[in-house]
Amino acid sequence: MGQRRRGGTQQFMPDTQSCPPDTPTSGILRCPGYLQSQKHSICMVSDFFYPNMGGVESHIYQLSQCLIEKGHKVVIATHAYGNRRGVRYLTNGLKVYYLPLQVMYNQSTATTCFHSLPLLRCVFVRERITVVHAHSSFSAMAHDALFHAKTMGLNTVFTDHSLFGFADLSSVLTNKLLTATLCDTNHIVCVSYTSKENTVLRAALDPDIVSVIPNAVDPTDFTPDPSCRDNSKITIVVVSRLVYRKGIDLLGGIIPVLCAKHPDLCFLIGGEGPKRIVLEEVREKYQLHDRVRLLGALDHKDVRDVLVQGHIFLNTSLTEAFCMAIVEGASCGLQVVSTRVGGIPEVLPDELVTLCEPTVSSICDGLEKVIAKQRSGKAPSPAAIHRQVRTLYTWRNVAERTEKVYNCACGQPVLPLPARLQRLRSHCGAVAGSIFSFVAVIDFLFLLLLQWLWPDHLMDVALDASGPGGHWERGFWKKKGKNLNAAH
């Protein structure tokens, strides 16, 4: 056992002599073994990961799995969730670092810029990371990681998952932070063209370094099943969090209008949130208890079982970067009606979705049309819709395109400190630029201090679970991995 492990690690031993001597900090980190084999050692950083549930979390997980399948090494860094801290392994040797960083607000860590440096440096050095991939602009840890990675001389990629305004205070502050962290990020990924436009404007970026890679759904999870439908009536399904952003007030306006016109119409609403009270009031006022069913919070695995019960999927969002829900609805073979906001018009071809303006009357018109189509039997069969959607968005495709982004980012030079400071000053304005330059200098000095206290060469090189020379499939982990997991 000892022999095998020895062989596995020596294969990719960092050889400082063959590394380009561009910056002193990057010497040991640039691992030639990875660059020669065209494989990357990727660290995904975000505040949001399992056990928290949502779009960003599943995006990171699915993307990582597909990249591992392609032979890259992937580790994930996030903050500790309650009892879940330390190092964990998920399927196929996906390694997750739950770092003990203090959570401030809404599962996001504090942005002090410095307190996360020792641990993140440790992760980057011991895993011999070549690309740092940060996710979500809501995540302070992602911003920190981009900043520290640049200080350490690593290439960075950022994925933005949401649309932002420009007017309120929190947006103004986040946008300023985003400008500073993205101004020397090598490449940025957005989930739709609308999101790209938004990000370019918010962070004052060159549009050439922003790519669009949409999200994906697992088509095998969302298969149609017409036998679950009750064909004596028409069911409209809504699955979303019940919050203002998702247009629940509009939904509250639509329900009484349509229910009065069509006696065989019923609503099935899944999800939980502060706007639930609006729907309950409507149900009470118009005596629609038998026709509007509120299911409450749904687990991700139960979503499909709810979707297949309906004929029409309704999405009333007021803002959306890329709507996963309508793809899931269409994949289950439902007719989709949605508001025309944000990136939604890009998501599905016109024959699969009916788009309306975000007003009660427009959505009612759209729904009427679809209901008429459904009654006349002209609507395409669920199986036909599923076949069409199945090939549109797959995670393998997303991983392939992300791989190209990594290749492109890895070819770019990392700016040395003086050039980086100049860029910060010219990009972020005089005042903010100076502040961020100051922070960058302090960060650099802090890194020097850490390198003196805990030199890189004393840090243990971690055993690769995934990637070239990964130990996951070689039988070693089958015996030991179980115990390592359980020990935390």
- Which of these ranges, 4-12, 178-186, 212-220, 379-387, lies near another protein under the rule CB under 8 A? 4-12
CB 469 within 8 A of CB 12: yes
Token pair of 474 as six digits:
């070689």
Taking the least distance from each CB to another protein, the nearer of 102 and 231 is 102
Site string for another protein, 461-480 (x = CB under 8 A): xxx----------------x
Distance CA 266, CA 269 (A): 10
Token pair of 308 as six digits:
């297949």
CB of 36 to another protein, least distance (A): 17
Taking the least distance from each CB to another protein, the nearer of 126 and 425 is 126
Distance CA 124, CA 130 (A): 8
CB 52 within 8 A of CB 107: yes
Interface with another protein includes 167 (CB under 8 A)?
no
Write out the binding residues for another protein, residues 429-458 only, by CB under 8 A.
454-455, 457-458
Count residues binding another protein (CB under 8 A). 35
Taking the least distance from each CB to another protein, the nearer of 119 and 278 is 119
CB 375 within 8 A of CB 392: no
CB of 20 to another protein, least distance (A): 18
- Farthest-apart Cα atoms in the chain, separation: 78
Classify strands 292-296 and 312-315 as parallel, antiparallel or unpaired. unpaired
CB 304 within 8 A of CB 219: no
Per-residue H/E/C for 23-53: CCCCCCCCCHHHHHCCCCEEEEECCCCCCCC
Interface with another protein includes 180 (CB under 8 A)?
no
Interface with another protein includes 483 (CB under 8 A)?
yes
84: DSSP letter: B
Site string for another protein, 57-96 (x = CB under 8 A): ----------------------------xxx---------
CB of 136 to another protein, least distance (A): 23
Write out the binding residues for another protein, residues 90-129 only, by CB under 8 A.
97, 99-100, 118-119, 122-123, 126
Which stretch of DSSP H or E encloses residue 78? Answer: strand 73-79
Write out the binding residues for another protein, residues 183-242 only, by CB under 8 A.
none
CB 124 within 8 A of CB 151: no
Indicate the residue type of 411: G
CB of 98 to another protein, least distance (A): 8
Taking the least distance from each CB to another protein, the nearer of 249 and 456 is 456
Contact residues for another protein, defined by CB under 8 A: 1-2, 5-6, 9-10, 13-14, 28, 85-87, 97, 99-100, 118-119, 122-123, 126, 454-455, 457-463, 480, 483-484, 486-488
